[in-house]
């Protein structure tokens, strides 16, 4: 992947600007007065640090997955955790995704808080039944007497030049399913805090990690989380057009906003952070200011999270809109061979083309 140092700094500066906004129960759990400051971490290291905090804070937290033990996962997100917490808490399981989720349900029935790693986005489907018909429904089936605090971490998305089933964005399948929560951080600071919040949630959380953002570094404020798990956030202020996305798309949107600025157009960037539920507040406020919205995502456009946002904004902000809500998505084809991924994935130019169309109304 290409280095995008400037835009990197932009993401993380904005993320850290948002930091002092709120305090949460999480911070109190960390111990008041124990100031640890700001560290510069990659998202992979930030999630690793967040997992370590969660494992230390609650002995019922277990990690389960393929190759997550001594190897530390294929992306090394769990590196060092097996040495610190042992193989009773960091479980290198047999190679069967449905069983990983299914046994995690049984462990949660027993009071554990399993955190699962699915190795790659495209390998979540063997577990689709257990996630949608079992995990998502245990609480309602038990009339609320049983919680399902299971987190499923999913490295997802393109930009890494990999083979089939390794670059997909399957988040819509899960956002469509009642009983699940779905989130995706766009930067290391959010990743550090959101993974801990997800683990503390009593509901199942699909935690989509944008793998193309695993390695760029950014500041992580270890003392202040900033926002609740399901809050969206304005990442960059602008006046002409609102663009909204999540995960790795935020880096692309900020890059597009930088380019647009040189051309005299002011773009506001909103990071959803949570795909289910969606926090529409900041987005609707933004649309009321700009009157125009472009929704961007790597996922296929047909029946997607972007479709839902477009419909909802049209319903709730119809009179504020100066133009139809436009969508920029992956094409409705299988994710192509990696040699063609830059054609498939929304680029800053494709976002700006949609911005131009929105402004043309």
Partner 1 sequence: MAAREREFTAPTVQLLTHEGELRPSPEAEAYLPLVEALSDAELQRFYRDMAVSRRIDVAGANLQRQGQLALWVPSHGQEAAQVGSAHAARPQDHLFPSYREHIVGMIRGLDLSRIFALLRGATLGGWNPEENGNFHLYTLVLASQTLHATGYAMGLQFDGATATGDPETDAAVLVYYGDGSTSQGDANEALVFASSYQTPQVFFIQNNQWAISVPVARQSRSPLSLRGGGFGMPGVRVDGNDVLASYAVTRQSLEEARAGDGPSLIEAVTYRMGAHTTADDPTKYRTDDEVAYWEARDPITRYRTWLEGRGASASFFSDVEAEANDIAADLRRRALELQAPTREAIFEHVYSEPHPLMVEQYAWLESFETSFEGPAGGTA
Binding site for partner 1 (CB under 8 A): 62, 88, 93-94, 96, 98-99, 101-112, 126, 129-130, 133-134, 137, 139-148, 178-179, 181, 201-203, 277
Instruction: Please state, in angstroms and rounded to a whole number, the distance separating the CA atoms of residues 247 and 208.
Output: 8
Between 116 and 222, CB nearer to partner 1: 116
H-run or E-run covering 264? none
Q: Which residues contact 175 (CB under 8 A, 6 or more apart)?
A: 182, 275, 276, 305, 308
Which segments within the chain are labelled E, that is strand? Answer: 38-42, 61-65, 90-92, 113-117, 151-156, 181-183, 205-210, 217-221, 233-236, 241-245, 267-271, 274-276, 293-300, 326-330
Q: What is the largest CA-CA distance in the chain?
A: 60
Q: How far is the CB of 24 from partner 1 (least distance, A)?
A: 14
- The structure tokens 């990743």 sit at 191
Q: How many CB atoms lie within 10 A of CB 342?
A: 12
H-run or E-run covering 103? helix 97-109
From 10, 159, 166, 246, active-site residue = 166
Burial class of residue 20 (count of CB atoms within 10 Å of its CB; 0-12, 13-18, 19+) = exposed
Between 145 and 262, CB nearer to partner 1: 145
Is 189 one of the annotated active-site residues of the chain? no
Instruction: List residues with catalytic annotation.
Output: 166
């Amino acid at each position: 992947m290409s280095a995008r140092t400037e835009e990197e700094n932009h993401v993380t500066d904005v993320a850290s600007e948002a930091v002092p906004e709120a305090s949460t129960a999480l911070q109190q759990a960390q111990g008041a007065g124990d100031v640890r400051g700001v560290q510069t971490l990659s998202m992979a290291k930030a999630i690793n640090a967040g997992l370590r905090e969660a494992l230390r804070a609650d002995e019922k937290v277990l990690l389960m997955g393929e190759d997550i033990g001594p190897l530390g996962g294929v992306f090394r997100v769990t590196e060092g955790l097996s040495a610190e917490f042992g193989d009773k808490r960091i479980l290198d399981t047999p190679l069967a995704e449905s069983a990983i989720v299914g046994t995690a349900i049984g462990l949660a029935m027993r009071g554990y808080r399993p955190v699962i790693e699915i190795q790659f986005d495209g390998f979540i489907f063997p577990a689709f039944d257990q996630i949608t018909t079992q995990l998502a429904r245990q609480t309602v089936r038990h009339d609320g007497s049983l919680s399902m605090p299971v987190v499923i971490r999913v490295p997802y998305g393109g930009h890494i030049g990999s083979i089939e089933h390794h670059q997909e964005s399957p988040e819509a399948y899960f956002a469509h399913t009642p009983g699940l929560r779905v989130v995706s951080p766009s930067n290391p600071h959010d990743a550090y805090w959101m993974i801990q919040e997800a683990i503390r949630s009593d509901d199942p959380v699909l935690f989509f990690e944008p793998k193309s953002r695993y390695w760029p570094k950014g500041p992580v404020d270890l003392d202040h989380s900033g926002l609740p798990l399901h809050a969206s956030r304005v990442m960059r202020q602008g006046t002409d057009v609102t663009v909204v996305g999540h995960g790795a798309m935020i880096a692309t949107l900020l890059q597009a906003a930088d380019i647009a600025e040189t051309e005299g157009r002011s773009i506001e960037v909103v990071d959803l952070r949570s795909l289910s539920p969606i926090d529409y507040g900041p987005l609707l406020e933004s649309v009321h200011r700009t009157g125009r919205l472009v929704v961007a995502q790597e996922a296929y456009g047909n029946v997607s999270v972007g479709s839902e946002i477009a419909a909802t904004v049209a319903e709730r902000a119809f009179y504020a809109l100066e133009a139809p809500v436009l969508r920029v998505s992956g094409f409705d084809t299988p994710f192509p061979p990696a040699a063609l991924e830059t054609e498939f994935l929304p680029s800053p130019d494709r976002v700006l083309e949609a911005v131009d169309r929105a402004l043309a109304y």
